[in-house]
């Protein structure tokens, strides 16, 4: 196994100085304000020397006899002021790069600038820097926070361990600030930049990378992110003795990247653990260089070095291979790269293969990573490199559960096949939807939303086994939970008789479904109008809001009935506003009974024309003069709105008829009226409808008139 280590590994000079100063302290009155570095081993070592770590000045009462060491992250101005007032001895180990930022911020703050700090607000370094402008700085990592800041003068600084690439992207927002005065200081520590570039090189050329550093270390986290983008087999290591070395034993070339808070001794501990599971270890002081082996294996080292050199000299690169080169010239139509130890020292990369349109971002002597996209002649592309990095990063996100989309290309015996970029995707038939799929062919050409159930990665070969069903199931569970919550809230806040606002959302032959606070209630068609209706659309309009009354609640079956007509006036409630006794109305005969006819004056309002009020002539049965559907005119002779009854008379509108003559029966001198006795008998056998009409005090002709007519 070949092990590649960066030149800038281990403590940076600022951390070295702080740790050395702390170790020189002795006695019971020595304190370090905050963790001196994010490394538990170093902190425990200082603790064993009697040096106390405090997280704030409030944790202990400090006097003139005490000494406080300020760590490399630095502290706010107020901390120095408090310690000076108490007469405490201060050992200021603030990193010179951090101290420079504090000076920039303090000077520009006094000159009226608004301070902007790019970095993590909770990081101790940023907390300290913000204290040099009275904690008024805008601290962010998001470009949207910097859009159209309402300040005429702005000073921008950046956390020393921040990603140079991210910072360059963020500060582009200030290109559009017009006449505003913006002072931008790229205050990233040069050792941080070199470590990040080293990490780029190592991770681009190794089969696996181990990033070693404290769990809380920000710069170690940045190095891990950089390596993860270039190498999918990147592992985080906090303690060399707790790491599972089985994960890396089968890789031929492993890079080891150390954070700034990691002592170089821990690298040796990693090597010693790796020796237990590997046959050969090769380290290097410059990355990426192929080989430098242990002293006892110098012969093999020389031969391998010659082989590696010959390969580079012939630049026998494969398409898709990553190459680290140096910019030797920036031209109008592209850039020229220099690759050492090659037959052709210079290679041109045209503008269309570069990421940035702004050529000022490309500086001579800067390193750049490009990908081989063609041979004979060799052609490089920065865009292709960026695309691969983006795809690898996205592949990692998919492995971690990110939902992605893919177009189904074909079917096979067990399910569907697709591709995400160049990565094959397989969707088992049981994972396509919630139910059973009968016809797989209908999914060909369709785009599915997928989530990786399993990711197979064997070197450059990858495959995703995905499921759409898990997404649909999760969404259904979420919808059901939201629905259940809404239903609970709905039923907790309504009761029968409540008047609510509702919106008809769909019609059915039996009624309208009405949305009330997001819950569908039913307004039966019989509860829409007092006069009845054939269709819901005759009364309601979809999407329009109305008032409804809660008629019935059945929480067990989740059914609620509402009514609309119950909130509307009945036709009889306002009939006296439209009609009066003596009015002549037109209507249609809707029903004929033995004692008269009912005439529809308007929808929902019927009047009775008693048989005695139909004609000037005596009628034995109303059907001899009227028929259902016939249009008639009649005069209102009585209205009882409370009992919803109206009495009409057609006879009142007719001309007076000839008085009736007494008619004798054939072969008899006795007039017809002598049959009164028969009439009295008939009275005891009067029709049931008439008796009901009498009992209900139906308006119309008087009872005496009815009996008189019957006698006739």
Amino acid 697: pLDDT: 45
Average the pLDDT over each of 55-64, 306-315, 471-480, 615-624 and give the range with the smallest value: 306-315
Amino acid 542: pLDDT: 93
Amino acid 489: pLDDT: 86
Sheet containing 379-381, strands listed edge to edge, beginning at the edge strand earlier in sequence: 346-350, 334-338, 322-331, 367-374, 379-381
Amino acid 329: pLDDT: 81
309 pLDDT higher than 70: no
Evaluate whether 551 touches 563 at the Cβ level (below 8 Å).
yes
Give one word for 315, left, alpha or beta, with left for phi > 0 and alpha for psi -120 to 50.
Answer: left
pLDDT tens, residue by residue, 114-125: 999 999 999 899
Amino acid 163: pLDDT: 82
Given pLDDT bands bounded at 50, 70 and 90, which one contains residue 97? confident
Closest CA to 294 of 316, 278, 317: 278
Kindly state the helix (H) or strand (E) to which residue 47 belongs, with its residue range.
helix 40-48
Amino acid 252: pLDDT: 85
User: Of the segments 1-5, 367-371, 632-636, which one has the largest average pLDDT value?
Assistant: 632-636
| Residue that wins the pLDDT comparison between 291 and 325 | 325
CB proximity list for 305: less than 8 A, separation 6 or greater = 290, 291
Given pLDDT bands bounded at 50, 70 and 90, which one contains residue 27? low
What's the half-sphere exposure (Cβ side, CA atoms, 13 Å) at 150?
0
pLDDT tens, residue by residue, 328-376: 888 888 888 887 655 455 678 888 889 888 888 888 888 888 888 887 7
553 strand-pairing partners: 560
Which residues does the annotation mark as catalytic?
125
Kindly state the helix (H) or strand (E) to which residue 512 belongs, with its residue range.
strand 511-516
Instruction: For residues 550-558, give the mean pLDDT.
Output: 90
Neighbours of 582 (CB within 10 A): 9
Rounded distance, CA 410 to CA 415, Å? 9
Rounded distance, CA 475 to CA 87, Å? 63
Instruction: Give the pair of three-digit tokens for residue 322.
Output: 């990553």
501 pLDDT higher than 90: yes
CA distances from 444 to 406, 410, 469 (A): 11, 6, 17
Quote the pTM value. 0.38
Kindly state the helix (H) or strand (E) to which residue 383 belongs, with its residue range.
helix 382-399
| 109 class by beta-carbon count within 10 Å (0-12 exposed, 13-18 middle, 19+ buried) | middle
Which three-class secondary structure string do you get for 155-219? EEEECCCCCHHHHHHHHHHHHHCCCCEEEECCCCCHHHHHHHHHHHHHHHHCCEEEEECCCCCHH
Rounded distance, CA 312 to CA 641, Å? 108
Amino acid 278: pLDDT: 47
Given pLDDT bands bounded at 50, 70 and 90, which one contains residue 512? very high
Rounded distance, CA 677 to CA 665, Å? 16
CB proximity list for 642: less than 8 A, separation 6 or greater = none
CB proximity list for 124: less than 8 A, separation 6 or greater = 34, 71, 73, 74
Instruction: Give the pair of three-digit tokens for residue 455.
Output: 């990711």
688 pLDDT higher than 70: no
Amino acid 287: pLDDT: 38
pLDDT tens, residue by residue, 252-265: 888 888 887 777 77
Closest CA to 451 of 419, 404, 391: 404
Evaluate whether 551 touches 511 at the Cβ level (below 8 Å).
no
pLDDT tens, residue by residue, 124-148: 999 999 999 999 999 999 888 888 8
Instruction: For residues 604-617, give the mean pLDDT.
Output: 89
Q: Which long-range contacts (CB under 8 A, 24 or more apart) does 417-426 make?
A: 418/448, 418/450, 420/464, 421/391, 422/391, 423/395, 423/462, 423/463, 423/464, 424/462, 424/463, 424/464, 425/450, 425/463, 425/464, 425/465, 425/466, 426/463, 426/464, 426/465, 426/466
Given pLDDT bands bounded at 50, 70 and 90, which one contains residue 215? confident
* Percentage of the chain modeled with pLDDT above 90: 27
Given pLDDT bands bounded at 50, 70 and 90, which one contains residue 247? confident
Amino acid 706: pLDDT: 45
Rounded distance, CA 604 to CA 536, Å? 18
pLDDT tens, residue by residue, 367-409: 888 888 887 778 889 888 888 777 777 888 888 888 999 999 9
Closest CA to 512 of 498, 497, 527, 500: 527
Amino acid 3: pLDDT: 84
540 pLDDT higher than 60: yes
Question: How is 54-110 classified by DSSP, letter by letter?
Answer: ESSGGGS---TT-EEEE-TT---HHHHHHHHHHT-EEEE---HHHHHHHHHHHHHHH
275 pLDDT higher than 80: no
* Percentage of the chain modeled with pLDDT above 70: 83
372 strand-pairing partners: 380
Q: In 200-267, where do the E strands start and end?
A: 208-212, 234-237, 253-258
Rounded distance, CA 616 to CA 652, Å? 9
Instruction: Give the pair of three-digit tokens for residue 541.
Output: 């309009």
Rounded distance, CA 270 to CA 237, Å? 10
663 pLDDT higher than 50: no
DSSP 370: E
Amino acid 340: pLDDT: 64
Amino acid 456: pLDDT: 80
Rounded distance, CA 253 to CA 268, Å? 17
Evaluate whether 172 touches 148 at the Cβ level (below 8 Å).
no
Amino acid 339: pLDDT: 76
547 strand-pairing partners: 501
277 pLDDT higher than 50: no
Instruction: For residues 276-294, give the mean pLDDT.
Output: 39
Amino acid 345: pLDDT: 52
């Amino acid at each position: 196994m070949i092990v590649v280590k960066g030149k800038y590994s281990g403590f940076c000079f600022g951390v070295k100085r702080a740790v050395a100063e702390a170790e020189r302290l002795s006695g019971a009155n020595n304190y370090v304000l905050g963790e001196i570095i994010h490394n538990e081993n170093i902190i425990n070592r200082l603790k064993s020397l009697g040096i106390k770590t405090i997280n704030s000045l409030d944790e202990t009462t400090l006097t003139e006899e005490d000494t406080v060491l300020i760590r490399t992250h630095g502290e706010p101005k107020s901390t120095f002021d408090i310690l000076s007032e108490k007469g405490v001895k201060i050992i200021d180990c603030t990193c010179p790069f951090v101290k420079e930022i504090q000076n920039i911020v303090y000077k520009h703050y006094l000159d009226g600038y608004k301070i902007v700090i790019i970095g993590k607000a909770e990081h101790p370094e940023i907390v300290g820097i913000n204290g040099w402008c009275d904690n008024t700085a805008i601290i962010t990592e998001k470009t949207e926070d910097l859009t159209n800041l309402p300040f005429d003068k702005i000073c921008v600084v950046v956390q020393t361990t921040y990603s140079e690439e991210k910072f360059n992207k963020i500060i582009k927002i200030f290109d559009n600030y017009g006449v505003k005065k913006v002072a931008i200081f790229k205050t990233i520590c040069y050792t941080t930049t070199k470590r990040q570039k080293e990490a780029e090189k190592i991770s681009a050329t190794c089969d696996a990378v181990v990033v070693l550093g404290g769990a809380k270390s920000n710069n170690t986290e940045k190095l891990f992110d950089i390596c993860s983008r270039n190498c999918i087999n990147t592992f985080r290591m906090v303690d060399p003795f707790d790491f599972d070395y089985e994960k890396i034993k089968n890789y031929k070339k492993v890079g080891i990247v150390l954070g700034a808070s990691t002592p170089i001794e821990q690298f040796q501990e990693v090597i010693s653990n790796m020796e237990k599971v590997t046959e050969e270890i090769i380290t290097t002081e410059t990355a990426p260089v192929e080989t430098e082996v242990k002293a006892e294996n110098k012969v093999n080292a020389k031969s391998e070095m010659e082989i590696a050199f010959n390969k580079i000299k012939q630049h026998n690169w494969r398409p898709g291979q990553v190459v680290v080169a140096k910019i030797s010239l920036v031209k109008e139509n592209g850039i020229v790269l220099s690759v050492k130890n090659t037959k052709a020292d210079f290679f041109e990369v045209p503008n269309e293969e570069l990421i940035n349109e702004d050529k000022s971002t490309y500086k001579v002597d800067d390193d750049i990573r490009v990908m081989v996209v063609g041979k004979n002649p060799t052609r490089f592309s920065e865009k292709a490199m960026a695309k691969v990095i983006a795809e690898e990063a996205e592949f990692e996100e998919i492995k971690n559960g990110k939902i992605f989309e893919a177009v189904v290309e074909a079917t096979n015996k067990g399910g569907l096949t697709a591709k995400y970029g160049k990565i094959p995707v397989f969707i088992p038939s049981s994972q396509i939807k919630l139910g059973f799929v009968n016809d797989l062919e209908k999914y060909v050409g369709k785009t599915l939303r997928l989530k990786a159930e399993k990711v197979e990665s064997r070197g450059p070969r990858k495959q995703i086994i995905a499921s759409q069903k898990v997404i649909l199931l999760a969404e259904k569970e979420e919808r059901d939970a939201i629905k259940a919550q809404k239903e609970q809230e709905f039923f907790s806040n309504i009761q029968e008789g409540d008047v609510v606002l509702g919106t008809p959302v769909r019609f059915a032959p039996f009624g309208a479904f009405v949305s009330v606070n997001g819950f569908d209630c039913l307004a039966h068609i019989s509860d829409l109008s007092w006069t009845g209706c054939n269709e819901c659309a005759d009364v309601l309009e979809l999407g329009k809001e109305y008032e409804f009354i809660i008629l019935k609640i059945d929480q067990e079956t989740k059914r609620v009935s509402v009514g609309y007509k119950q909130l509307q006036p009945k036709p009889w409630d306002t009939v006296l506003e439209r009609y009066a006794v003596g009015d002549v109305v037109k209507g249609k005969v809707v029903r004929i009974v033995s004692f008269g006819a009912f005439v529809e004056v308007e929808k929902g309002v019927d009047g009775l024309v008693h048989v005695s009020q139909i004609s000037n002539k005596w009628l034995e049965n109303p059907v001899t003069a009227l028929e259902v559907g016939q249009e008639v005119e009649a005069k209102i002779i009585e209205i009882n709105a409370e009992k919803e009854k109206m009495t009409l008379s057609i006879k009142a509108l007719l001309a007076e008829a000839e008085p009736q003559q007494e008619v004798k029966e054939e072969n008899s001198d006795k007039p017809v009226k002598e049959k009164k006795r028969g009439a009295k008998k008939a009275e005891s056998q009067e029709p049931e409808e008439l008796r009901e009409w009498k009992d209900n005090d139906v308006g119309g002709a008087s009872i005496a008139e009815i009996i008189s007519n019957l006698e006739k």
